[in-house]
Amino acid sequence: MNATRAILVLNAGSSSIKFQLFKGDHSLLRGQVDGLGTDPHLLVHDDAGTALADRVLSAADAACHETALGAIVAVLERHAPDIAIRAVGHRVVHGGPDHADPVIIDDTLLETLAGLEPLAPLHQPHNLAGIRAAQTAFPGTPQIACFDTAFHRGHPRVVDTFALPAAFYDEGVRRYGFHGLSYEFVAGRLAEIAPELAQGRVVIAHLGNGASMCALRNGRSVSTSMGFSALDGLPMGTRCGQIDPGVLIYLMQERGMDGDAISDLLYHRSGLAGLSGVSSDMRTLEASSDPGAELAIAHFALRIRRETGALAAILGGLDAFVFTGGIGEHSAALRARVCAEMDWLGLALDADANRAQDTRLSPQNAAVAVYRIETDEERMIARQARRLIDV
């Protein structure tokens, strides 16, 4: 019997590897290893949601990405023995200025992507560690990089430049944008749900531990809130979002903070966690009576409204608004808070639809249609991989 050809998708983080196995556009298995090097735990489900594995691993079994991937391979061998991995697709957060499409990975590309690690220090090193682990686990199998920045590469220079001497843009100091895999998937889903709206002026809010927003026209990125790094725009779980660069000069000159200290502050000790003093998790903040939690939520919602206005101005109006990401998909309270003061732009929610987590959240006669669409970055990676590999 011939083996079924499939694509394995890997999304490697600092302490985890998420994976999903696809036959065509159908997910066969999904799971993750969390707690790499500390308290590793393996969780795997089949396409029906049935748990196939849910167990603690020894530290030695998941001390790093390579050993964790070994545990994943063992699961695949046990629960999908008739599957032949035709390609491995990887989420790579930063592709730099030159990558607008998925690409088969070679040593030269790996070296180039490693040079971008300072621009995405929370993600890029771990993405590349996952690639190297997969090269060892699946020798000779094409490894395909799918970039979070690629969706935004069609912007004109006027959108992506900073007001710095032109030589800096030529050297790569420019706006890149992120969460592109999520935006591409959600834009495709909106085209299925409401094709006429999808061709118009749309803002998508990807709200999670990492958060950004994107303006689209006819399904293509026009502008986005994140810029040179994954720090810009909205506040996030532990990241600051937009900040006056004068603050950084002050911290260096008056507080004596060096680059490493400032990086730690902006990436790890700011955002919802830093502002609230409670947590980076929206669920914890919404359940808290601490005034800091309320301040963090209010600030987050305010920044979303501010960015919505800016993106609508770039689009020349707004036809549809989409919530996605962990917070955007699940927090009815945050969605209501964002829309409550946006009636001037035409945003309105049906309270019952919002509480019920429906797909369409706005009344049928609303000037701007509001949707809640679940994103699926792993499925988008599999689709992009199939552009390059016949499966």
Query: Which are the catalytic amino acids?
Result: 148
Rounded distance between C-alpha atoms, residue 213 and residue 233, angstroms: 8
- Going from the C-alpha of 323 to that of each of 192, 278, 329, 335, the distances in angstroms are 16, 25, 6, 8
Run of H or E residues at 297: helix 291-315
Question: Judging by beta carbons within 10 Å of its beta carbon (0-12, 13-18, 19+), is residue 251 exposed, middle or buried?
Answer: middle
* Strands (E) located in 47-125: 51-56, 83-92, 103-104
φ and ψ of 208, to 5 deg: -155, -155
Closest to 203 (Cα-Cα) out of 191, 216, 194: 216
Q: How far apart are the first and last CA of the chain?
A: 17
Which of helix, strand or coil describes residue 77? helix
Decide: 285 and 318 in contact? Cβ < 8 Å. no
Closest to 89 (Cα-Cα) out of 104, 79, 99: 104
Structure tokens at 218: 């006819």
Decide: 52 and 45 in contact? Cβ < 8 Å. yes
φ and ψ of 108, to 5 deg: -65, -45
Closest to 138 (Cα-Cα) out of 4, 9, 2, 3: 9
**DSSP letter, residue 376:** -
